[in-house]
Structure 1
């Protein structure tokens, strides 16, 4: 199958499904489902298909750095969204994402240290995550909002995978968890339902990062021994199990 065709069909479908889940089961569940590797998993797959399995394995270290930056993005957006509108909140959160990524990359941690730091950061973020002041109001909807979300997400994926050969595995990995789906969920919930809905969405997403991180971390080991399909399948089961347990705890 043509890889470009896969990129422009798989990602839009994923974004549409996540949006529909959030509408049916609420913002927290939408965030939790959105944290699954629907975008990062395909990006890693495209790295492997276009650059080789070794490139994909080497990118996992950068992915851990990117996830730490994603946690910082979620916390910043949730906190700042209580004060200002979506655009300055988004720009500031992107700045925090970039600063965190640069700082962690400078520390040059190994894979195991990075993984443990991510898990600890998720737990710390949940401990101090902003609390919604009121229940979310009934959602407003923009005309054609699902197609808009689908197009934006697809363009992000095309950009990141297109630059992979130039950036190399480490920086490509850092950009893999870039808040593509997260930004879309945050912006639309912020615009249409307000800060409280955004906080619920991003808190659900941060909860899901426990499984998301494990899925991507396992690829550094599974891809050395198994096929892509089996590696992704085993890690996806682990991801789903962790998400179920985490959602019951938090």
Structure 2
């Protein structure tokens, strides 16, 4: 019961904070903030608390594979949003996510190689991102959007952690960075600010993946040596520093 209560409290709070930060500082900064391990971190933590630390460590390679899929999702959604509405763009981008995940589940690479590959893919994705047009669209905020975001994020958290024992560490890991916050930000930006809003938000998220990937990569080593709290705390600080640098560079 305490774990369930924690999930029910944590996820709506995280989603609300990310949404309000985006409204306060803009889509790009909001995207970078959203890329922090707000969902992947707690899901990994719940894996450890419910399935054991070894399960969490073994889930890290799968989570990193999921980051590659997340890059594919963001890039495909950004390009497709210029031509299609959200209800067609979103499922196609989800298909891209799953296809990339399927490919890399059959390719067994060293953890360090996967980490380097992700960093290269993130840099290439940023280089290949579409440029927002000069067309100005008055922002439009949907009714109850904050509540919808909070409910969806919470349901996803509950579903993934509940299925962890059935899916095993690999697919549980792959689904951990599933673009739930990313989807919510992309769709609401797309609807409220046209494709320009979605592109800027998604570019911010991809920029933040340098730090997010490093956070996950470090867990494979920190969790073996330190407590869960110290492992997460150290990696989160490193994640934040990398994000600050990445925002200035990209």
TM-score, length-scaled by structure 1: 0.98
Quote how far apart the aligned CAs of 1:136 are.
5.5
2:165 matches 1:165 = yes
Quote how far apart the aligned CAs of 1:110 are.
1.9
Cα shift readout 1:42-71 (whole Å, capped 9, x = no counterpart): 000000000000000000000110000000
Greater Cα shift, 89-98 or 128-137: 128-137
- Partner residue, 1:109: 109
Quote how far apart the aligned CAs of 1:135 are.
6.1
CA distance in 1, matches of 2:188, 2:49: 32
CA distance in 1, matches of 2:64, 2:83: 30
The answer to whether the Cα contact below 8 Å between 1:67 and 1:213 also exists between their aligned partners in 2 is yes
SS of 1:87's partner is helix
Cα shift readout 1:79-105 (whole Å, capped 9, x = no counterpart): 000000001100000000000000011
- Partner residue, 1:130: 130
Paired positions, count = 250
SS of 2:141's partner is coil
- Partner residue, 2:245: 245
SS of 2:208's partner is helix
Quote how far apart the aligned CAs of 1:233 are.
0.5
TM-score, length-scaled by structure 2: 0.98
- Partner residue, 1:148: 148
CA distance in 1, matches of 2:110, 2:62: 10
- Partner residue, 1:31: 31
CA distance in 2, matches of 1:17, 1:136: 27
CA distance in 1, matches of 2:12, 2:48: 20
The answer to whether the Cα contact below 8 Å between 1:136 and 1:197 also exists between their aligned partners in 2 is no
- Partner residue, 1:64: 64
Quote how far apart the aligned CAs of 1:134 are.
2.0
SS of 2:100's partner is helix
- Partner residue, 1:18: 18
**Misfit runs of 4+, over 6 Å:** none
SS of 2:182's partner is helix
CA distance in 2, matches of 1:241, 1:138: 34
- Partner residue, 2:9: 9
The answer to whether the Cα contact below 8 Å between 1:136 and 1:194 also exists between their aligned partners in 2 is no
2:197 matches 1:197 = yes
Quickly say closer, same or farther: Cα 1:47–1:158, change in 2 above 3 A.
same
